[in-house]
Amino acid sequence: MAELNISERQAGDITILDMDGKVTIGEGSVALRTTIRRLLGEGKKKIILNLSGVGYVDSSGIGEFVSSFTAVNKESGSLKLLNLTQKIQDLLAITKLLTVFDVYENEGEALSSFK
């Protein structure tokens, strides 16, 4: 089972997390939670999750997206999703979460969406 690798890069004051692997109960969702909490602790509140390398998300992973989103919002920041695979997009549509998240297919558009 591929664990989740998260690499981090900055575009100005925006942090992009390039995620690769699976966001599932255990490893993946913990890795995401830890990373988001650390960024918030560092005062980084503009975050894009680039999910192009994420092939699979289970309900725990979806829950982690939601709790990350909530945690970032609580700090008056914003969390956006980039490059969803069809599978993840369908999953978010079914769970009605597609309307909760700002979702982008193009990194430039995602970056310029931050005010």
- The whole domain housing 89 covers 5-104
**91: in domain:** yes
pLDDT of amino acid 2: 59
Instruction: Tell me what the pLDDT averaged over the chain comes to.
Output: 95
In angstroms, the CA 75 to CA 83 distance is 24
* Residue of 37, 47, 53 whose CA lies nearest to 17: 47
pLDDT value, residue 3:
85
Q: Is residue 88 part of a domain?
A: yes
Is pLDDT of 1 > 60? no
111 in a structural domain: no
Please report how many Cα atoms fall inside a 13 Å half-sphere around the Cα of residue 87, on the Cβ side. Answer: 11
In this prediction, residues 37-48 reach a mean pLDDT of 98
Binned at pLDDT 50, 70 and 90, residue 26 comes out as confident
Split into its structural domains, the chain has a count of 1
Find tokens 């969406």 and name the residue: 113
Q: Is residue 80 part of a domain?
A: yes
CATH number at residue 10: 3.30.750.24
In a domain, 112, yes or no: no
